[in-house]
Amino acid sequence: MMQICDSYSQKYSLFNAMNRFIGAVNNMDQTVMVPSLLRDVPLLLEELDAAGGVCPERDPALPPANAGAYFSRRDMYSHYMLLKSIRNDIEWGVVQQQAGEEAGRKKDKLSGGPAADISRGLAEEGEAEEDLEQQFHYHLSGLHTVLSKLTRKANVLTNRYKQEIGFSSWGQ
């Protein structure tokens, strides 16, 4: 129990980063009463920079195939919907791929005869176990960085919405 309380107060804990992000998105969701007002309202370049990076221009010939396309469209509504979707994924989890799809991908990854498959699979498994701690720290750091950037994006969107509707004097 002591360990949970100690980690909760730590500035760089993943738990706190997720809570800050969820809080920022909840605040954004409560502030944005009419999400349709966000359509076709671009985020300014300064706001994108403040939120953690400038989005690249989207090639109009490419269809918006995934969530990454949301940020490339640069309108506030797309950012709003993506941030809410990510919050829901954090709170409720993401749908896991079917076991058959994953097994098929693993089978495609390995080539050669059955004996080669087994030896290659065992070697890869041993290497993966050896660097699990390194992988964990790498992904934990990346996740913390992404959550921080998304939190800033939610805060920027909230403030911009307040400016758009004329309530820039609302508490921040």
Question: Tens of pLDDT along 98-115?
Answer: 555 555 555 554 445 555
Backbone angles phi, psi at 158, to 5 degrees: -60, -45
Whole-model pTM: value is: 0.62
CA angle 138, 153, 34 (to 5 degrees): 140
pLDDT of residue 41: 81
pLDDT of residue 42: 79
DSSP strand E in the chain: where?
A: none
Helix (H, G, I), strand (E, B) or coil at 13: coil
* Domain ranges within the chain, ordered by starting residue: 10-165
pLDDT of residue 159: 92
Asked if 112 contacts 119 with a C-beta cutoff of 8 angstroms, the reply is no
Residue 59 has pLDDT above 80, yes or no: no
Q: Which amino acid, one-letter code, is at 1?
A: M
pLDDT of residue 165: 84
Please state, in angstroms and rounded to a whole number, the distance separating the CA atoms of residues 26 and 125.
41
Please state, in angstroms and rounded to a whole number, the distance separating the CA atoms of residues 160 and 163.
5
Q: What pLDDT, in 10s, does the model give residues 118-137?
A: 656 666 666 667 689 999 99
Please state, in angstroms and rounded to a whole number, the distance separating the CA atoms of residues 25 and 136.
26
pLDDT of residue 143: 95
Greater confidence, 10 or 112? 10
